[in-house]
Structures are given as C-alpha cells and as structure tokens.
Chains A and B, each alone.
Chain A
Amino acid sequence: MRVALCGNPNVGKTTLFNQLTGLRQRVANFPGVTVERKAGTLAGAPHVEVIDLPGTYSLTPRSVDERIAYEVLVGRLEEGPDVVVCVLDAGNLERNLYVVSQVIDLGLPVILALNMMDVAEENGLVVDASVLEKDLGVPVVPITASRGEGIDELKKHILDPPEPAQVYRWQLMDAVDAKIPALIKQLAEEAPHVKPMHLRMEVLRALAEDEALDVWRLEVPEFVNRIVTLREEFAKRGIAWRHAEVSGRYAWIGPIAQRASRRFKGPATLSDRIDAVLTHRVAGPLCFLLILVCVFEAVFSWAIPAMDLIEAGVAALAGGVRLVLPAGWITDLLTDGIITGVGNVVVFLPQILLLFFFLGIMEDSGYMTRSAFIMDRLMKRVGLSGGSVLPLLSSYACAIPGIMAARTLDSERDRLITIMVAPLMSCSARLPVYTLFIAAFIPAGKLMGVFGYQGLAMFSMYMMGTIMAFVAAAILKRVVFKGPPSYFVMELPPYRRPRLRQLFWRMYQRSRVFAVRAGKIILGCSIVLWFLASFPRTETSPEAIQIEEQAIQERNIEYAAAQALTPDRDLTVAADSLSLVDPILAYALDLTAQADVKYAAALDSANIVRQSAQIRGSAIGYLGRILEPVMQPLGFDWKISAGLVSAFAAREVIISTLGIIYSVGDAEGGVALRDALKADQYPDGRPVVTPLVAMSLLVFFVFALQCMSTLAIARRETNTWRWPMVMWFYMTTLAYLASLLVYQGGRLLGFS
C-alpha cells in the first residue's frame, strides 16, 4: 500500500512525514529526474510506504516540482498512490484547498490533515474541521505535526482508507465548459493510454498552460491544434480561458473555507513584529549582513577545541599504529597515507557541523525565506529574483543541493543562471582550505575587540564568492540568457522555534554525506597520492648523508672533549650519582647531553631533507614541477601546484595532498600542516608560502570549480554537457586571473 503526502510548501508536510515514518526513511530521486524523493514505511505498519511529494501550490506544471507531484499522483513516474494525505495549513484554508480540489478530481481516496491549528488561532482564525469534512466529503483530521498530536487518528484513516470523494463538484464557466466534452473525446481517442479518470484534468491543464500543451505536441498534434484554435476563439470572444479553472475552483472552495473558518481580529502577531525589523528596507539587509558575519565568526572560533581534539586523536592513532606495526612501507601507507590523509579532512567536521547547524536554524525558523525577500532588491539588479537566494544560500553548504533547489524557480532562464553561478558560493569543501591558510597566515587579533581578524578573513572569502556570483549572474542575464525581467512572489511562513531533534537529524544526515565522501573519495585519493608521493623511491640523498656524517663527527668531538675532563668516568651512563658531589663530572655530563640534543636535531633535518628529496623525485613531484612554470606567476611552487592537480576532483583533497607531501616519513606525525607550510623554504632561504601566496591560493579556491560531483549534477539538471563545461571554463579562467591579479598586484604594492 502506498500513501502520498501532498500539499503547499511550508505546511508541515515533512514534519508529518517524520512523525508517520519515525524517521525511518530513504532519500533518493524520482526516476529520471533529480527531484528528491523521500520515502519511508509507516511506523507500526511496515507494509505501508509513505512518500513525501514536493510542496506545490497546484498540480498545474509551472515548476519542475509541480510537474513531479502531478506525475506521481497519476502514476506516470512510478506506481500511483492508493491514498493521498493532503496536508493543510489551517491558517490559510482557501489557498490550501485549491490543490486539494485538484487531488480529489484525480479520483483517489483523500484524507485531509489539518495542521497548524494553534498557529491559525494565534493569527486570529478558528477552523471547524467538521464543516470541511461535510462540505468536501473527505475525512478531515486536525493535527499538530510538530507535537505529534492527531497522528494516531490519521494513521487509523490511512489503514482504513475512505472511498474516493465525488469529483468535479465545481463549475467551470459555461463558455469553456461547453467545449470540454469534445476535447476529452478527442484526447481519449488519440491517446488511449490516458486513464479515463484523468482525461478532464489533462484537457484543463493543456488549455490553461503552454507547458502542459507542449507535452502533447508530438504525440497528438491534432489535439494540440484544436486547443490552439480554441484559445484564439476564446480570446476573440473576450473569454478569460487561461484562468477559467482557477476561478471555477475558487468559486467552490471559497465559500467552503468561509463557512469552516471564523476570523477575529487579533493584535499584530509576533511574526509581524519581528518582520517589521527583519524585512525593513534598511534594517533588514543590515541584520542579514550582521547575522552572516556572526555565523562565520562562530563557525571559525567555536569549532577550535573540537578540531584540536580530533587533530590530537589522529596523531595519537597514527603514533599508536606505528608502535604496533613493524616499520615498512605498509605502515607508512597506513599512517602517512590513510590516517593522515583522511584525518586532515575529518578534522574540519566540527566547522561543517556548525555551518549546517546555523543554516538549519535559518531554514527552520523561517528566516531563510526572509533573506530571499530582503535580497530581492539586489537580485533584481542582477536580473534574477529573490527566489534564487535560497538555492544560492544552500550552496554555502554544498553546491549540489543548491543546484537542485533551483528547480523550484518558475523561470527556466533564472534556473539556468542560478545553476551556473551556484558553485561560486563558498561551499563546505572550501572551508578546510580557508581554515588552514587563514589560521596559518592571518593574525589572531580582534578588530575593535569584537570580531577576530581570522573570522573576518573567512567572511571576506565568502563575500568574494557571493559578489562574484552576482556579477556573473548579471553578465549571463545580459549576454547569454536574455529575456524579460523575472518576478518575485513568495510566501513568508510564520517564525517558528526550530525543533532541535529535526535540526540535529538533518545535521547528522548532511555531515554523514561529508564523512562518507571523506571515507570514499578522500581515502581513495589519499592512497593514490601516497603512492604517487612515495614512488619512485629516492634511496639516497647526498645532502642528507653529508648532514648525518657531519653530525656524527661533531658529536664524537664533543664527547671526546667532555671525556677529557673526567678520563676515569664512563660518560655514557648519564645518571651517575657521583655528579651530585662532583661538579666536574656534572659539567661533563651536561656537555654530552647538549651534544646528544644537537645530534638528534641534525638527524631530524637530515630526515626532512631526505623526505623532500623523495617527494621531489616522486611522480607527484614530477607533475608539480611540470606545472610549476604555469603556476609560478600566481606564487605557487611545485608542491602547491601538485596539490591543485589532486584537488581537481574534490577541493578538500588538497589538504590531504599537502599533508602527505609535508609529512611523509614523519614518525611522530607531529608537525601540524600549517606549521610545516609556514616553515617551508626555497633553497635560497625565501619562505615558500608567504601571506601573499596564501591570499592568492585562497582567491584561486574561491573561484575555481574543483568538484566532479557539481559538474555531474549540473549535467543532470541541464540535460547537457554544454553548460557544465562553460561553467568549468569560466570559473577556472576567473580563478587563474584573480589569483594572478592578487599575487602580482600584491608584489607591485610591496607585499610579500
């Protein structure tokens, strides 16, 4: 048995879905499209599958979501549902009943779940469910999904579904209605696969909507021609054919909604009072900016203790493995390749969790839609609408959900432009790179004692990507995707307190995606990179041997000098109790201890020289050196160039690569990557990574498209390789030129 949840956006459908399934759900895509399909089994009834359809205002195909909802309901995409639960916001009955009237007309058993009665009452509205039940002829169950109230009653109705209600109880305007039977007959003859129950709906959709008519253009051209002729005839007679269905349905449901609800004028709601500030034309954008600054400051500073803990854990694990396993290349692969490689990326999980936490709060509280509203003025200037803000903000977490969220946009042009610029928004995969280089090269002080320089630097990275996304959108709109200006209309749901359980559940799901990615892609890349960095083997390094020989000689000389002071004592036994009473012996022992420390330090530097020679002679070193002449104008040496090559498939891989390049053979796994970067020098003693080089690299990462998954999802959403390729070329060129400008401009201005 299959149950579909259907209803307007923001009516608590997903909350109800979670209540019904008890979070036992599978997230996939609908077949052939990338619209997310959430399904699960009804808690306590494993034979019942519950599907959460995309939120939709109607079954008229004005966006991809609406088309999907309709096609699932009529069983075109997959097997149709046996029962439909329509979720309604009690606070806006009339508008919500519109889609209900369309679902009833599909001839399916329908149950209404009347949600948010409490919010409606706060807004000065009382709803009588029994009136609705009587007038519509379907069971109506009042629920409060967020508190789990009414769920058991709803389940009873699902398990014992009602008979389908009477269809088409509303009246179409006479002039249009008179033409419908002939059209139904023609469609039935020309397209016999359409179920008789759906014929009238198909005809009405084809009459009112160009997109719906286009679907039939190839299959039943005569039917399409007849509709086109009919539209012309209606237009000549001054008949409003395009909204005949809308008017007819509202004429039926309007009085029902009025009878079922009683309105009393209450005081301005809390949402109104909050909106007076947060959507104010001046205060609104300022608050938005302030919130973003605070979020990035928190993401940067709050995560540090947890990151330190993970970093220490990874180092301890690598050290532990070295103690247990015998020395050899397999142990090196495990510690320097796998543990260090994956650990260097997993260490950023706390920051990513915090970012998801704040984005989740913005979504659940209703502020995300306000941000679309207040940003519309700016978006209008670049030729988009505020609707594009939601996909773009989602892209801060990851460009993939951002690109997919663009499907809610009505305008195809806006959707394509949003997809093209979404990867410019700094996603969570860039966060590790930003964090590493900002922590290493930006001082830790505070501006005016409040905002840390590092947090502000992080914020400016995000702003740079965002501003460039707007500039790119403006150019694309004016040059590539020309057309009339887009429009903006959006429902602003009441502010709600985020439910922590659901918030944490979503954080868990999103971070699991990140962790699995780290586990699969980065683990694989780390292993490959370790091999590339370790082979071919450079067995000898004359410079290292020379350092070692010199160290041995110096140590022997210093030992001999100390021994000369006390010829009758054995200085290799350091804890000689006589040293307490014999100052000469104590002095001699001190000299040998100092000689040992110097010797150990010399061996360490010999080791680093040997590692450096190994990496330089390895496959990855060779690749990096080939690229070095191209990347040198940006300030990048062969190591960073090798890192950039490895990050082609996924940005965060550069961290593992640099970790492997800088710490291969480091027995303690000790020197943190940022310290190693700061300490690295060219043979002439100049530092390899200066603050200017770090800035140039950061700018490169802000603009470059280094993510195979984004390209793949853009290919699926645009149904062609053309746009993903254009996206890759324009972003890579932009990244190179911007980095060149930063590095060469910085040098001209005298920065290092």
Chain B
Amino acid sequence: MPPAPLTTFCDGCPLMICSVHGCAEERLRDMGLREGARVEVVQNSDKLIVRLAGCRIGLRRDMAADILATPVEL
C-alpha cells in the first residue's frame, strides 16, 4: 500500500512513518515522529492521538496530514 496521511487510518492501526513534512517537521522529529518510527493511531477525530512506543502524542489534524505512513504488522 502506498504511503497515506496519518489522518486516513482508523483507530488501532499499527503504522510505519514514511515521511514528515510541514511547518513543524523538526519539532515532530524531535518528539520521535520521524521516518521509520512505528506508531499506532489511538484516536482519529478532530485531532489525532498516536501511540509512539509507550507514549501518546496528540497533534492537530493538519499536522497529521503532513505525516505519510503505511500499515505494518505488529
């Protein structure tokens, strides 16, 4: 499956981040949301909560749309 924005995945979906763009890409990488990182969408509504290893990160929908990811097996 080609990479798609994080906002297109449903809750509980394990993913691998393929690319990070947008105005806050460096901050996202600092927080661990970088190319190759494995994440899981915990909540996909007006904002997103993703699980990265043992922590949860909340971010705006427009920022999440700039992160492209593909589903992976856990």
A-side residues, CB < 8 A to B, are: 57-58, 60, 62, 89-95, 98, 119-120, 123, 125, 208-209, 242-243, 246-247, 250, 254, 257, 261, 263, 265, 271-272, 275-276, 279-281, 373, 376-377, 380, 386, 410, 484, 487-494
Interchain CB contact under 8 A, B36 and A62: no
Task: Closest A residue to B35 by CB, please name it.
Answer: A247
Per-residue A-contact encoding for B44-66, CB less than 8 Å = 1, 0 else: 01110100111111111001000
Pairwise interchain contact B52-A58, C-beta atoms closer than 8 A:
no
| B37 CB–A CB distance under 8 Å | yes
Contact in complex: A57, B45 (CB < 8 Å): no
Q: Do residues B42 and A489 form an inter-chain contact, with CB atoms below 8 A?
A: no
- Give A380 to B47 CA distance when docked, in angstroms: 12
Inter-chain contacts of A484 with B (CB < 8 A): 23
Contacting pair B30 A98 (CB below 8 A) = yes
> Nearest B residue to A116 by beta-carbon distance?
B54
Q: Of B22, B34, B54, B74, which is within 8 A of A123 by CB? A: B54
Q: How far is the CB of B2 from chain A (nearest CB, A)?
A: 21
Contact of B32 among A98, A247, A261, A272 (CB under 8 A): A98
Chain A nearest Cβ from B30, distance in angstroms? 4
A275 near B49 with CB under 8 A, answer yes
Given known contacts A275-B42, A488-B63, is B56 in contact with A243 (CB within 8 Å)? no
The interface residues of chain A lying within 8 Å CB-to-CB of B29 are 243, 246
* Contact A57/B31 with A246-B26, A491-B55 known, Cβ cut-off 8 Å: yes
Q: A489–B58 contact, CB under 8 A?
A: yes
Write out the residue numbers on chain A whose beta carbons fall within 8 Å of the beta carbon of B70: none
Within the complex, what minimum Cβ distance (angstroms) separates A596 from chain B? Answer: 74
Q: What is the CA–CA distance of A494 and B51 in the complex, to the nearest angstrom?
A: 11
User: Could you write out 27 A-B pairs with CB less than 8 Å apart?
Assistant: A57-B30, A91-B53, A92-B32, A94-B32, A95-B52, A98-B30, A120-B54, A208-B26, A242-B26, A243-B25, A250-B36, A275-B49, A275-B56, A279-B49, A280-B45, A281-B45, A281-B47, A373-B58, A487-B63, A488-B63, A489-B24, A489-B33, A489-B58, A490-B57, A491-B55, A491-B58, A493-B56
Interface residues of B in 2-40 (CB under 8 A from A): 22-37
CB contacts (< 8 Å) of A247 on chain B: these are 34-35
Q: How far is the CA of A90 from the CA of B53 in the complex (A)?
A: 9
Q: A275-B43, A373-B47 are in contact. Are A380 and B60 (CB under 8 A)?
A: yes
Q: Which residues of B contact A250 (CB under 8 A)?
A: 34, 36-37
**In the bound complex, CA of A494 to CA of B42 (Å):** 13
Residues of A with C-beta under 8 A to B36: 250, 254
Contacts of B37 in A (CB 8 A): 94, 250
Given A265-B74, A373-B47, also A92-B54 (CB < 8 A)? yes
Contacts of A272 in B (CB 8 A): 42, 56
A369 CB to nearest chain B CB (Å): 8
The B interface, classified by DSSP as helix, strand, loop or mixed, is: mixed
B47 and A246 within 8 A (CB): no
Complex Cα gap A365–B43 (Å): 20
Contact of A60 among B28, B30, B55 (CB under 8 A): B30
Inter-subunit contact B26/A243 (CB<8 Å): yes
Contact of B54 among A89, A254, A280, A380 (CB under 8 A): A89
Question: CA–CA, A380 to B46, complex, Å?
Answer: 12
Q: A275-B42, A373-B58 are in contact. Are A489 and B31 (CB under 8 A)?
A: yes
B30, B32, B46: the one contacting A281 at CB < 8 Å is: B46
In whole Å, how far is B44's beta carbon from the nearest beta carbon of chain A? 11
Known: A90-B54, A487-B60. 14 other contacts (CB 8 A): A60-B26, A92-B54, A95-B55, A119-B54, A254-B36, A257-B53, A373-B49, A376-B58, A484-B23, A487-B27, A489-B31, A491-B58, A493-B55, A493-B56
Check B24–A487 contact: CB distance below 8 A: yes
Which chain B residues lie closer than 8 Å to A281 at the CB level? 45-47
Q: Which residue of chain A has its CB nearest to the CB of B31?
A: A57
Please report the C-alpha to C-alpha distance between residue A91 and residue B43 in the assembled complex, in whole angstroms: 19
Which of A93, A95, A265, A494 has the most C-beta atoms of chain B within 10 angstroms of its own C-beta? Answer: A95
Question: Which of chain A's residues has its CB closest to B28's CB?
Answer: A489
- Is B58 a contact partner of A492 (Cβ separation < 8 A)? yes
Whether A125 contacts B23 by the Cβ 8 Å rule is no
A489 contact set on B, CB distance < 8 A = 24, 27-28, 31, 33, 57-60, 63
Instruction: Write out the residue numbers on chain B whose beta carbons fall within 8 Å of the beta carbon of A257.
Output: 53
Residues of chain A with a CB closer than 8 A to B60's CB = 376, 380, 487-489
Which single residue of chain B is at the shortest CB-CB distance from A484?
B23
From residue B47, how far is it (CB to closest CB) to chain A in Å?
A: 6
A265 to B35, CA, bound (A): 22
Taking a contact as CB atoms closer than 8 A, the residue among A92, A265, A275 that contacts B55 in the complex is A92
Q: In the bound complex, what is the Cα–Cα distance between A618 and B35 (angstroms)?
A: 74
**A83 to B11 CA separation, bound complex (whole angstroms):** 43
Find out whether the CB atom of B27 lies under 8 angstroms from the CB atom of A410: yes
Given A250-B36, A487-B27, A491-B31, verify A89-B55 contact (CB < 8 Å): yes
Closest to A62 in B: B27
Say how far B73's CB is from chain A's closest CB, in angstroms.
11
Query: Using Cβ atoms and an 8 Å threshold, which residues of chain A touch B56?
Result: 271-272, 275, 491-494
- The answer to whether B32 and A279 touch across the interface, beta carbons within 8 angstroms, is no
**Which residues of B have CB within 8 Å of A95?**
31-32, 52-53, 55
Residues on B with C-beta less than 8 A from A242 are 26
Complex CA gap A206/B59 in Å reads 28
Determine the chain B residues whose CB is within 8 A of the CB of A491 once the complex forms: 31, 55-58
Name the A residues within 8 Å of B42 (CB-CB): 272, 275
**Alpha-carbon distance A120/B36, docked complex (angstroms):** 21
Q: Let me know if A58 and B49 touch, CB within 8 A.
A: no
Which B residues are CB-close (under 8 A) to A254?
36
Task: With CB as the reference atom, state the residue of chain A lying closest to B48.
Answer: A489
Residues of A within 8 A of B32 (CB): 92, 94-95, 98
With both beta carbons as reference points, the residue of chain A lying nearest to B59 in the complex is identified as: A489
> Given the complex, which residues of B lie within 8 Å of A280, measured CB to CB?
45
Q: How many Å lie between the Cα of A634 and that of B36 in the bound state?
A: 63
Q: Which of A89, A98, A243, A377 is B47 in contact with, Cβ under 8 Å?
A: A377
10 closest residue pairs by CB, A with B: A91-B54, A95-B32, A92-B55, A487-B24, A489-B59, A92-B53, A492-B56, A123-B54, A57-B30, A373-B58
Q: How far is the CA of A380 from the CA of B42 in the complex (A)?
A: 22
